[in-house]
Amino acid sequence: MHILAFGEVMLRFTVADKMMLEQCDNLHITTVGTGVNLLSSLAHFGYDTSILTVLPDNPIGKKAAADLRKLGICDNKIIYQGKSMGSFFVELGQGARPERVTYQDRLSSSFSQMSVEDYSFEKSLAGVDIVHICGIALSLTKQTRLAALKLAKMAHEMKKIVCFDFNYRMSLNENNTHEAMKARYQEILPYVDTIFGSKRDLTDLLDYQETDEKKLYQQFCQDYQISFFAGSRRTFVDDKKYFEGFLFHHDKIYESSPKELNILDRIGSGDAFASGVITGLLEKWDFVDTLEFAIANSVLAQASMNDSPIFEKQDIFNYLDNKGTNDLIR
């Protein structure tokens, strides 16, 4: 089973020692992105993975590719062109002090500037079973938008399973408007089988009016012939934080139990959930088991440094078996 992800790869600069950027000159660099995080987790669950992206043709791009290989992601579909990568700074949080993310420019990156004509999608799709497309491509540049659409369409026609993550960030390009964004999502959705998103994506972005959650998903999945619609959310009860997930399939909503969060580094929680869901679907697990697994993967990922989860299946099962009370493994 080979999974290909399409999307932007970014450099993450984490300020050391829980300090704020203004306080500290020591950074830890990692190579991340929605596709990266998802594939890293899937690779550690035992799947073949590769990423379709554009990296700069210089030591920065080479470093990023080396990092991707280290995460278990095959780098042989990567295109080297241009000279920049998007980047962001992370200041870890503590208690009431939130983790803070500050982006540098993403529109001038090698990925954002890559012309859709320069991709060889057919070649990239050879040998691939599942394609994952990150919705951020719809918010960046015209080129990334065209590329995402073309890839989704081609993969759909080649009978690949197409997964799609809403990841709706209108502010990434100041030229984006609600109507334009909505139209782009409407254009890509017919080619998609499995979707990661939230209720708000349907109401705020796609302007659905239905307030009953189940009917809302029903209507949406029918409109675009979507097989699975899944998402995660965080809740707060008595000063404690919890994480939980749902999956809509064939007119039914499945839900995980909420699991307590003890956050070290929150970024990538949705990607960890998505890779867990994809794994459960591929392994044809019970849907609730799938959600339990996916939420557990995300809870562990949020208790770990960096975006990209590297847990193996057994790590997740251990957590589920111990209900999270185990504090030492020998």
* Residues in 29-88 that interact with its own copies by CB under 8 A: 29-30, 58-60, 62-63, 66-67, 69-72, 83-85, 87
Output the 3-class SS for 180-199: HHHHHHHHHHHHCCEEECCH
Q: Does 96 bind its own copies (CB under 8 A)?
A: yes
Min dist CB 184 to its own copies, Å, is 21
Residues 143-172 that bind its own copies (CB under 8 A): none
Contact 172, 132 (CB under 8 A): no
In the chain, the amino acid numbered 230 is A
**Closest CB to its own copies among 109 and 124?**
109
306 with 30: CB under 8 angstroms? yes
Q: Tell me, what DSSP letter sits at residue 94?
A: B
The footprint of its own copies on residues 99-118 (CB under 8 A) is 99-105, 107-109
Residues ≥6 apart with Cβ < 8 Å to 79: 53, 54, 55, 114, 118, 119
Question: Is the separation of the CB atoms in 140 and 11 below 8 Å?
Answer: no
Stretch that binds its own copies, among 11-19, 124-132, 184-192, 211-219 (CB under 8 A): 11-19
Beta bridge partners of 10: 32
Q: 249: burial class by Cβ within 10 Å (0-12, 13-18, 19+)? A: middle
Taking the least distance from each CB to its own copies, the nearer of 121 and 196 is 196
Q: Is 306 in the site for its own copies (CB under 8 A)?
A: yes
Handedness of CA 157, 158, 159, 160 (dihedral sign): negative
User: Interface mask (CB under 8 A) for its own copies, residues 211-240, using x and -?
Assistant: -----------------------x-x--x-
The interface with its own copies within residues 307-326 (CB under 8 A) comprises 310, 318-319, 324-326
Looking at the Cβ atoms of 175 and 211, the one nearer to its own copies is 175
Closest to its own copies by CB, 1 vs 303, is 303
Q: What is the three-class DSSP state of 133?
A: strand
Q: Min. distance of Cβ 306 from its own copies in angstroms?
A: 6
Which residues, numbered 236-295, are part of the site for its own copies (CB under 8 A)? 236, 239, 241, 259-264, 266-267
Choice between 97 and 215, CB closer to its own copies:
97
Instruction: Pick between residue 220 and residue 319 the one whose CB is nearest to its own copies.
Output: 319
Distance in Å, CB of 50 to its own copies, minimum: 13
Rounded CA-CA distance 2/195 in Å is: 18
